[in-house]
Chains A and B, each alone.
Chain A
């Protein structure tokens, strides 16, 4: 552990002959306590209280953020580091109270949005005491970690004692401690037994992105501190007023499992650093910053802790050829807009596939202009042979908007090659399209249960009603709609009366979860819905291009949340008269996501719907909007038919 503990161990050995064990225990405890106090005393002159005035109120948060915060002096001329948690409301004034009691107004110099820390500056005449940073090489799991805040009493620090639980957490940005980390000490230091600073306490989260409100783990035995040495490395940049953002290179990776799959690029965002360096879809990233990359997680570990503006050397394999490039990371990418050819594909059983048969051609689309017809079979795109819909969608992810793409189709025996410029999608739903599947021989073998049944998940109170079409045929792939009713509850027979025939005729599996607490949706219900969907998809053949979350009113807000938190599986959101509670994530070439929204002039949530629409369009998503007139309402029969046609078009290209 530390020299101190070694010293204690020796002291105990030497004393063993003359003293009792109880003596030693008490002595050890007392000396340990003394060492801890000395550590706190050593750092305390650098630990300041930070108070804020004004700023946005955030009534929607469980933890209000108005409280006093802690800061750590990092330079003698008045620079102070704190946690950005305390400043997310953009206060109009920041006052630092020094340990001696003197107050000084502070300026917010810069924010590090990757590590959730801010740099403040106060004007001082005398030089301020600065702490010593522990070098990263000396940090060890198991060593003492003493968290110091100054939020209860500006005259004395508040202390919580724990150990360092892990190093290199949150993509190498933080160390972890079991000391009690909360708004009472965010922004303060985590020090070792000698009073040297290990890191600055910050509410980081491994599950959410860089988000100022990731406090779900406060006082839970898991707390994070950003190593002071890392902050010091970027001190000059912050000092110059530069806000530090997470760095992006602009690629999407193929595959589902970042812990298993190699870092093969599925799409490269136009104008991104990777794009400008000539990196292409299909390339496999094998090395970053001199470190070998075998699995995607290794790439993320190297990239997620770097900032926009940083440069990083990347090596990719293109076939046998190794290409090395130096990329400069950026803080934001041009929004991705999905290019559109203008067809619906047929969904014949995959085993028979040697191309994708065109089911429907959108009028005025690039496909129509290229005189593609129903029944034509697409066999190659951009030089890649296409066997089925999934390969076609994968190839489409790498296509650029308004760029010419070489394509090849079969019409009967005739092989036709042409170039097509894929363009932006129209926001329309075809009124009618030919059947997606040719009639099959009746299926004679055993099938899983069809019709309606209840889905339960161990450890959850919730239940869900599921309906599987009566003529379910495991040779086909079925769309799934997870439907969140408005209040979290419904009568099974009423719901079935609405949906049963439609599910049968459209080949749709319905999953309708119920809230754990009757009549009230809560965030925990989402976990249930996701697990219930997993269970259903494990048993039935489902179409990964047409997995939809939908809901009415608050149920719609849940549908958004489910889709945003499960990008790898949800492909559509149907939000019926529903508010949007969180900003949508960026559009993505691999994780396709389409939206069906209803709006109404006098809806209770009209403003939120308009804001949602604006945010989705800014991110260049494909959104279909149904105007319901004056009053917001649930879907009527006509809307429902339209919604199901929309679900039917989610595999459009």
Chain B
């Protein structure tokens, strides 16, 4: 399965979905571990990434036990060892003691863009047991985007690119399953249940294989150093603030008080940049700020040494200014 010759690719392309699915299903693993109370299901999905039993899956409470079991497509049941996990990517690597297994080539460079047909393989709702094959869902890539595109929208430490799926993969037990293209080539790993906190809608997504491959390789070679979940909400030690810029905003009285400028301190960077009372600040470094509170949060993520670009609306016109903290604050 490693490198395709042109000829084998053509053969592969001519396979129907049925053949593709038959080819992929033996690579899917049913994983059982902790849970089974308070609505936490004690199972999830995973897939093989080596012939000797490396299983890629999501890092979750299910793995938080000494007894993780992995059931293969042929019904064989193994005790799985947790080799390592990267909470930042929400991924974990397990190892079972077996050989000559069918597997996905994780390093393979495959990607898909919006509109591409995809197949999602997982044990959603734990419906498959023993030697029953995993469930397959068909859909398309709704869009390929980055979760960090809108900060604070999704409650996950992962901030990288994702495939948003037009398929209902957001179900218990589906996380850790494999997303493939129409030819059965690995595209990514199905993510956990996640809700869009801006509009409340549930999200169906997968993390691209290319994001997971380096860490998986590090864990396999024993070189992986665990990092804590990256917190991009951390603030710099010397943070910028609206006050430092000379901006006085309207009092924060509502849940979502709009970030209107109330006053501009004379001689301040804001005054020098030409900002005026009644300007409404819309963007901080291209990040939409929908309230006074989110404006302050956004500015406080910027170091005092750095410039900030503000976009304000005045008389239905957008005005962009760049400013920074005074030299000697």
Contact = CB atoms under 8 A, between A and B. Distances in A.
Contacts of A152: 142-143, 145, 149, 164
A160 B167 CA distance: 9
Nearest to A101: B286
Interface in B128-180: 139-146, 149-150, 153, 164, 166, 168
A68 B145 contact: no
Contacts of A159: 114-115, 140-143, 166
B199 A161 contact: no
Contacts of B149: 152-153
A22 B19 contact: yes
A105 B313 contact: yes
B3 interface: no
Nearest to B256: A57
20 contacts: A22-B14, A22-B16, A22-B19, A26-B182, A33-B115, A33-B117, A53-B290, A55-B256, A59-B255, A63-B199, A103-B318, A152-B164, A153-B143, A153-B145, A153-B146, A156-B145, A158-B164, A159-B141, A182-B199, A219-B202
Interface of B: 13-17, 19, 114-117, 139-146, 149-150, 153, 164, 166, 168, 182, 196-202, 254-259, 280, 282, 288-291, 311, 313, 316-318
A473 interface: no
Contacts of A151: 199
A56 to B, nearest CB: 8
A66 interface: yes
Given A67-B196, A93-B313, A158-B114, A53 B258 contact: yes
Contacts of B200: 62-64, 183
A17 to B, nearest CB: 16
A552 interface: no
A37 B115 contact: yes
Closest 3 CB pairs of A and B: A54-B258, A67-B199, A183-B199
A36 B115 contact: yes
B182 A29 contact: yes
Contacts of B117: 29, 33
Given A64-B199, A157-B114, A107 B316 contact: yes
Nearest to A218: B201
A123 B317 CA distance: 9
Contacts of B150: 68
Nearest to B320: A103
A40 B116 CA distance: 12
B313 A54 contact: no
Contact of B282 (A53, A123, A184, A219): A53
Nearest to B201: A182
Given A33-B117, A40-B115, A156-B114, A53 B316 contact: no
Given A22-B19, A54-B290, 11 more contacts: A29-B182, A33-B116, A40-B114, A51-B288, A53-B258, A53-B288, A53-B289, A56-B254, A59-B255, A62-B200, A161-B139
A92 interface: yes
A104 interface: yes
Contacts of A95: 282, 288, 313, 318
Interface string A25-46: 1100110010011001000000
B219 to A, nearest CB: 30
**Chain A interface mostly helix, strand, loop or mixed?**
mixed
A105 B146 CA distance: 25
A180 interface: yes
A54 B292 CA distance: 9
A65 interface: yes
Nearest to A55: B256
A52 B198 CA distance: 12
A54 B257 contact: yes
Nearest to A86: B199
Contacts of A292: none
Given A20-B14, A92-B280, A66 B145 contact: no
A161 B16 contact: no
Nearest to A28: B16
A54 B256 contact: yes
Given A54-B290, A152-B149, A160 B256 contact: no
A92 B318 contact: no
B201 A157 contact: no
A23 interface: yes
Contacts of A156: 114, 143-145
Q: Give the most central of A40, A53, A123, A157: most B CB within 10 Å.
A: A53
Contacts of A183: 196, 199-201
Contacts of B256: 54-57, 66
A68 B115 CA distance: 21
Contact of A26 (B13, B146, B198, B257): B13
Contacts of B288: 51, 53, 68, 95
A378 B142 CA distance: 70
Nearest to A59: B255
Nearest to B281: A53
B21 to A, nearest CB: 12
Nearest to B255: A57
B115 A104 contact: no
Contact of A66 (B144, B199, B259, B311): B199
A183 B200 CA distance: 8
Given A29-B182, A105-B313, A68 B198 contact: yes
Given A66-B199, A66-B290, A159-B115, A25 B17 contact: yes
B277 to A, nearest CB: 15
Nearest to B12: A26
Contact of B318 (A56, A63, A104, A160): A104
Nearest to A155: B145
A66 B164 contact: no
A153 B142 CA distance: 11
Contacts of A26: 13-16, 182
